[in-house]
A and B are shown apart, each in its own frame.
Chain A
Amino acid sequence: MDAKRADKLMTGVLYAVAGLIIIILASLLGYILWQGLPHISWHFLTSPAKSFEAGGGIGIQLFNSFYLLLLAMLISVPLSLGAGIYLAEYARNNWLTDVVRTAIEILSSLPSVVVGLFGFLVFVLQFQFGFSILSGALALTMFNLPLLTRNVEDALRSVSFDQREAGLALGLSRWETVTHIVIPSALPGIITGMILGAGRVFGEAAALIYTAGQSAPALNFGDWNPLHVASPLNIFRPAETLAVHIWKINSEGIQPDAAAVSAGASAVLIIAVLAFNLLARWLGNRIYRKVTAA
């Protein structure tokens, strides 16, 4: 077979493979939305879940998911920024840096259920945080931190060395060069990575089952004092999230409408993650244009 025909053939094969993947993903998404969308209503999104009867909603779980996400990102974003900047800009090429990098890689491939059990042993039992939002947020940080750090480091590294040289040669200090030249150039990549990380965290269940718990006690949305037991902001209350709720309904749900609730919740979850992805792209482009005046 000559090169030209091989080229044509392989182009065809690649198109076919790409098409197959798109069909699989699209049908999966389509199925979930098709099954779930009819069950979504304002009532469904805002009312609490019911354990034994039909007509329960996912209001508390939805709030828990967002609150847990916020706390997890509050902890992991500064940490990953610091670690990523250190690795990309300051770390010398020596064995210590290699150890840190390898550790990050191993952590990032850790199954989330292992992260969950680690969180259970350390945060829930050892630190006696119990099944709580705090334990969940810390477990999610463990789960998310390696990927975010990697993302920050990669985004910073993709800024060419010329830029750093230009900054230093202009009489900027190293810190000024990093904060005023390298980070702004890398910002779109960093933000995109953060938001994608947020999407991953939002859909995470296994790391939360044994940390944030599987129950969603009733909340009083009129009480915003974080020290009160029924306050939505209390970080020491157990908090079942949307993803955990879906898992739980499917494994042990005894509501008559369990299938419908599960389908609806899945659709909401997917829509939220999709929104995160679109937001990431939009925000990334926008910030890049703003910073670069392109």
Chain B
Amino acid sequence: MAKTKVITSENVKLHYGDFEALHGINLDFAEHEITALIGPSGCGKSTYLRCLNRMNDLIPTARVEGDIRLRGQDIYAPSQDVVQLRKSVGMVFQQPNPFPFSIYENVVYGLRLAGVKDRAVLDEAVETSLQQAAIWDEVKDKLHESALSLSGGQQQRVVIGRVLAVKPEVILMDEPTSALDPISSSQIENMLLALRHDYTIILVTHNMHQASRISDKTAFFLQGRLVEAAPTKQIFLNPAEKETEDYITGRFG
């Protein structure tokens, strides 16, 4: 069975000035799957991830080549509305970055700016999003307190709730649990498994166990190249490339 491809990318190259950081990546993402991007630090996986919602646009020296499509639409086309793109392709960062407002305001921010004023709609969105982000029970009695008063793990889940409230199609996650303790991490992992039914998730992680536990597909990056992308089981049990095997078994030198 061939699942629908949500994002396709072909020969993606990225230059920082004269330096080529990505050497032509071909990778597709199927609907309602979790894809893990793994590889050593500096291999380009985060850089690649940031091509998918054009966050690299913020870096003046960065230049992206190749073809990236969201449901067939070229996201680097001149007619592409970047703001609209980032609404469909949400992003969660390594460090929890809640706005210095109340929990409630954090979640409804995107909606408010989109012009939603109806209190009932906003309340509803807060509850649904925070429930999906598996944080509702912990914060439902203090929605109007500062999001900064929460622990790192709670903040990260509120941030995920904030992304969900905008109803994206794809969620990019750049090492979302690497700044968190093991319990918070596993809460987020369980949440991602539940979210997979409604969203397409692309996850950069340094944690091999995390990749093997929750992802459907795994892509291994090395020095700006995509070495191998395959169903997670295959990558971990029977990788096609020697480099992948070395990395996964920790024999990487």
Residues of A participating in the B interface, judged by any CB pair closer than 8 Å: 92, 160, 162-163, 165-173, 176, 180-181, 184-185, 291-294
Contact = CB atoms under 8 A, between A and B. Distances in A.
Contacts of A92: 60
B110 A169 contact: no
Given A169-B86, A171-B166, A173-B83, A162 B95 contact: yes
A159 B85 CA distance: 25
Give the size range of B's interface with the partner.
20 to 34
B100 A291 contact: yes
Given A166-B93, A168-B58, A171-B83, A185 B113 contact: no
Interface string B17-34: 000000000000000000
Nearest to A159: B100
Instruction: Rank and list the top 9 A-B pairs by shortest CB-CB distance, nearest first.
Output: A171-B87, A293-B102, A169-B91, A162-B97, A171-B86, A292-B100, A166-B97, A294-B146, A293-B146
B121 interface: no
B110 to A, nearest CB: 5
B162 interface: yes
Contacts of B86: 168-171
B146 A170 contact: no
B230 interface: no
B97 A171 contact: no
B238 interface: no
Interface in B65-111: 83-87, 90-91, 93, 95, 97-102, 105, 109-110
A173 B58 CA distance: 12
B159 interface: yes
A169 B163 CA distance: 9
A187 B99 CA distance: 14
B144 interface: yes
Contact of B146 (A163, A168, A292): A292
B102 to A, nearest CB: 4
A166 B166 contact: no
A167 B58 CA distance: 12
B193 interface: no
Given A162-B95, A184-B101, A294-B148, A170 B110 contact: yes
11 contacts: A165-B93, A166-B93, A170-B162, A171-B110, A171-B166, A172-B83, A172-B110, A172-B113, A176-B113, A293-B101, A293-B102
B145 interface: yes
B97 A163 contact: yes
A283 B242 CA distance: 63
A176 B110 CA distance: 10
Q: Which of A160, A170, A172, A185 has the most CB of B within 10 A?
A: A170
Interface string B117-152: 000000000000000000000000000111011000
Contact of B109 (A170, A185, A294): A170
